[in-house]
Amino acid sequence: MYGFPMLEQLTFTGRELLIAVILATAVYLLEVMIFSPRRRRDAAAARRPSDASVARVEALERRLDVLEARVALLAEQATEPAPAPSGRTGDAADYGEAMRRAGAGATPEQLADELGLSRGEAELIIALRRAEPVSDVNRPQSEP
């Protein structure tokens, strides 16, 4: 061989090769025993969540609980019928009475106070009453 003339003169016996393999294996095993536990500890520490991330997750869980409670409350409120304002029933008789009183000259304040209508409803009823011909107010409506 060119460049390494000393290697040509080296000869190893079986016993020397066996010792070299045993030494190489021992070095490898020592390296695994020394560095492997440290690597495992480092990997375990990297997988373990930090205190800040645990606190963040707990805060998010509390916020989620609050939001779920709000959604449940809103869902419950959506299924309940809305109460009539001011204890009024909101049926056609109230509006018929309001139309009759508007025809008699009642003011929006009077309609709102006496029949439990809102100010806007009372004003609308008076405006509708003014726009209606007088003969159509008490005439029953025919079905189409």
pLDDT of residue 60: 96
- 70 part of a folded domain: no
Q: What is the pLDDT of residues 66-113, one digit of tens each?
A: 999 999 999 888 887 665 555 555 566 778 888 899 889 999 999 888
- 55 part of a folded domain: no
- 120 part of a folded domain: yes
- 8 part of a folded domain: no
Phi-psi region of 3 (alpha: psi -120 to 50; beta: other; left: phi over 0): left
Percent of the chain at pLDDT above 70?
Answer: 79
Torsion, Cα 18 23 25 31, to 10 degrees, reads: 180
- 102 part of a folded domain: yes
Write b or e for each residue in 5-41: b if 16 or more Cβ atoms lie within 10 A of its Cβ, otherwise e.
eeeeeeeeeeeeeeeeeeeeeeeeeeeeeeeeeeeee
- 107 part of a folded domain: yes
What contacts 108, CB < 8 A, 6 or more positions away?
Answer: 119, 122, 123, 126
Q: How many domains does the chain have?
A: 2
Residue 2's pLDDT band (cuts 50, 70, 90): low
Which pTM was predicted?
0.33
pLDDT of residue 39: 74
Q: Tokens 């056609």 correspond to what residue?
A: 92
- 77 part of a folded domain: no
Residue 64 class from Cβ within 10 Å (0-12 exposed, 13-18 middle, 19+ buried)?
exposed
- 68 part of a folded domain: no
Which residue range is the domain that position 127 belongs to? 86-132
